[in-house]
Structure formats: structure tokens, C-alpha cells
Amino acid sequence: MSSKQSASKSARKGASKGAAVAPVTPPPRPARLTAAAGLVALEGLALAVSGSYLLIMGLLGKPDSPQQAEMGGLTVLALAALPLIAARGLWLLRRWSRGPAMITQIMALPVAWTLYNGGGALIAGAVALALTAVATLVLLVNPTATEALGIGPRES
């Protein structure tokens, strides 16, 4: 047994013999970070619903190319995992989660532009997506959010 293992065993024994151990309380989550996590989760859920719809219609509907519809649905479902995982990480104040959340927002902007160019009813969806992406980016680069995630200015 290594010295680290024996030290950790003895620490556990000491803690179980009545030594008072203070509960670890996580730092408070800023409202801006909570809002960003909610928006990222909302985008992930929208992708999951869209992917499920494409997959189900590819299986049960009569698309021109069932294989293409099914593969598109599976692809969108796989893409939904990124914002959902990032939203959970933001909610739990994980430092790594900011990058995937920001990448998702940056990828949403060209999608919004494409929807906007589609015209008609797609314009409303494009505006909603673009506003959500920009708002989420603003929330994620806010100093309060970066500090809560443990991301600070670089020291020279």
C-alpha cells in the first residue's frame, strides 16, 4: 500500500471517529450564469426535438429519401448533446463548459443567417435564434460569469 493510500485511509478513519467535518458549500451561481445555462439548455432541447422529428418522419413518413432523413435526424440528435452537456457544466460551475457553450452560439449565428435568407416564416425563427445566441454570448463573456467559472485575466 502506498503512503497516499494509507494517508487517505487514516484520514477517513479520523473523520469517522467523530471529528467535525465542515460541509463543503459550492460558491453561489450568478444569475447571469444561470440564465446562460438555461438558454444553452433551451437550444439543446430544441435541437433534440428537431432531430427526433426528423428521425421519426424519416422512419414513419414518406420522405423523398428516407435514408437521408434518418441520417439527418441522427446527426441533429448527436449535435444536441453538445449544448446539453455544456448547459449542465455551466449549471454546475464547471470551467470547461464555457468553451462548448460559446462554440454552440457561434455556430448558431450562420444557421440564423441561413434561416433569414430562407424568407417567409423562417425569418421569425432566424431572429429568435440570433437574439438567443448573441444574448448567451454576452452572458458568457460577462466578468461575473467568468469569475464564477474560475476564468480570470491572464497574468503576464
CB 28 within 8 A of CB 140: no
> In angstroms, how far is the first alpha carbon of the chain from the final one?
42
Mean of pLDDT over the chain: 87
CB 101 within 8 A of CB 140: yes
pLDDT value for 4: 46
Model confidence pLDDT, tens digit, residues 85-113: 999 999 999 999 999 999 999 999 999 99
Q: How far apart are CA 127 and CA 78, in angstroms?
A: 24
Polymer length in residues for the chain: 156
Say what the pTM is: 0.78
Per the listing, cell 430544441 goes with 46
Q: How far apart are CA 107 and CA 141, in angstroms?
A: 16
pLDDT value for 56: 92
State phi, psi for 64 to the nearest 5 degrees.
-60, -40
Model confidence pLDDT, tens digit, residues 27-44: 788 999 999 999 999 999
Percent of all residues in the chain with a pLDDT value above 70, rounded to a whole number: 85
Model confidence pLDDT, tens digit, residues 132-154: 999 999 999 999 999 999 887 76
Whether pLDDT at 3 is above 90: no
Percent of all residues in the chain with a pLDDT value above 90, rounded to a whole number: 67
